[in-house]
């Protein structure tokens, strides 16, 4: 699928985005002709059905710079960002004094068209749109990358795409029971955590302790922090953005003489490299048949590997 990825170097406005599209080869005459009809359907004439975007660059939060002016971000921009639940790039010192970087028009276009992620893709063309600002520390520029998105991400990488938009929450605990840790872990998984684990550590005054770690999508960061603060004795939670590589995986159902067992298949470079039976299915069959769990698991694993790995 042909797709565009919008990179916000110095914010975005409607004019900047149009400038980048024209730089990519969009005919100005065709654009004017289409817009004059004002039917809106049939936009972005470059034949790009997939639109993706980086986190929005809003600049430094600031009050109105003159009487009767508006704050940055502008109220309309902030409302559009909130409606789209769009990720926001952090404030940087180089943005100080630059004022508005993403306009309401720019935010409206991006929020209505784009998915906020960078897909695995080839890059076949780059369009640059310039804004009217001229900050000393950075260019007032937006770039649009155009190329083909992989139907199977493994075609671009043997280990799959790098996943962004993930946060790692951690807290040190030295006064918590195993029951509380287990309950907090269950609640975090119910919330949508990608992974949760405990690490033994040595704390001050030589006391043994535990690090509670949780990997969550960025959209769940606030809810995850609140859950950890509510369900454990901690007084604070550390948070940092992380990226990860994740192999493609699929679930297939294996028919055995013991019953149906789901199998998790792991892919690398488009091929299956591992097949692992689902624990819960093996546990259920072991209880129903009064046979050992390890016996059921080994039998299912052998049949799964014979079917999927050959």
| Residues 14 and 149 both lie in one domain | yes
Residue the block writes with tokens 């654009």: 31
In this structure, the answer to whether residues 17 and 132 fall within a common structural domain is yes
Domain that holds residue 44: 2-155
CB 47 within 8 A of CB 167: no
CA distance 267 to 201: 35
- 6 with 99, same domain: the answer is yes
Q: In this structure, are 270 and 217 located in the same domain?
A: no
pLDDT of residue 42: 44
CA distances from 70 to 11, 58, 76, 99, 233 (A): 17, 14, 10, 10, 42
Q: Provide the pLDDT for residue 36.
A: 64
Out of 108, 129, 155, a domain closes at 155
Q: How far from the centroid of its chain's Cα atoms is residue 93's Cα?
A: 25
Task: Let me know whether 74 and 106 are in one domain.
Answer: yes
Which pLDDT belongs to residue 59?
87
**Pick from 228, 245, 262: which residue ends a domain?**
245
Domain of residue 269, CATH code: 3.10.20.300
pLDDT recorded at residue 65: 75
Residues 133 and 25 in one domain: yes
Rounded Cα distance between 221 and 245, Å, is 20
CATH of the domain at 174: 3.30.70.1380
CA separation for the pair 283, 72 (Å, rounded): 56
**pLDDT at residue 86 in the model:** 87
Nearest to 270 by CA among 121, 150, 158: 158
Identify whether residues 33 and 171 lie together within a single domain.
Answer: no
Give pLDDT tens digits along the chain (310 positions).
Answer: 788 888 888 888 888 988 888 888 887 777 777 666 655 444 475 567 788 898 888 988 888 877 887 888 888 998 988 888 888 888 888 888 888 899 998 998 888 888 888 887 888 888 899 888 888 888 889 999 888 886 655 444 555 566 778 999 999 998 899 999 999 999 999 999 999 999 999 988 888 999 999 999 988 999 999 999 999 999 999 999 998 887 888 889 988 888 899 999 988 877 888 999 999 999 999 999 989 999 999 999 999 998 888 6
- List, as one string, the DSSP characters of 8-52: ESS-B-HHHHHHHHHHTT--HHHHHHHHHHT--TT-STTT--EEE
303 and 226, same structural domain?
A: no
In the chain, the number of structural domains is: 3
306 three-class SS: helix
| CA separation, residue 266 to residues 66, 194, 276 (Å) | 58, 17, 8
């Amino acid at each position: 699928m042909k797709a565009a990825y919008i990179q916000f170097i110095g914010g975005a406005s409607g004019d900047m985005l149009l400038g980048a599209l024209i730089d990519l080869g969009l005919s100005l005459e065709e654009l004017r002709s289409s817009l004059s009809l004002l039917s809106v359907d049939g936009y972005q004439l470059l034949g790009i059905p997939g639109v993706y975007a980086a986190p929005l660059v809003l600049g430094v939060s600031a009050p109105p710079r003159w009487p009767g002016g508006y704050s940055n971000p502008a109220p309309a921009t902030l409302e559009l960002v909130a409606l789209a639940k769009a990720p926001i790039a952090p404030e940087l010192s180089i943005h100080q004094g630059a004022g508005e970087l993403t306009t309401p028009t720019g935010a409206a276009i991006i929020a209505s068209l784009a998915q906020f992620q960078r897909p695995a893709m080839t890059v076949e063309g780059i369009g640059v749109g310039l804004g009217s600002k001229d900050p000393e520390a950075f260019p007032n520029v937006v770039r649009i990358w155009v190329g083909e998105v992989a139907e199977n991400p493994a075609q671009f990488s043997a280990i799959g795409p790098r996943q962004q938009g993930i946060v790692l929450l951690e807290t040190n605990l030295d006064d918590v029971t195993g029951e509380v840790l287990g309950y907090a872990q269950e609640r975090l998984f119910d919330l949508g955590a990608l992974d949760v684990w405990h690490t033994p550590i040595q704390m001050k005054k030589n006391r043994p302790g535990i690090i509670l770690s949780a990997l969550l999508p960025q959209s769940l960061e606030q809810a995850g922090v609140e859950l950890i603060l509510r369900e454990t004795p901690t007084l604070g939670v550390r948070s940092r953005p992380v990226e990860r590589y994740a192999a493609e995986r699929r679930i297939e159902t294996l028919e055995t003489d013991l019953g149906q067992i789901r199998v998790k298949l792991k892919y690398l470079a488009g091929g299956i490299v591992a097949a692992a039976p689902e624990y819960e299915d093996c546990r259920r069959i072991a209880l129903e048949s009064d046979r050992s769990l390890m016996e059921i698991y080994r039998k299912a694993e052998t049949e799964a590997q014979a079917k999927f790995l050959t």
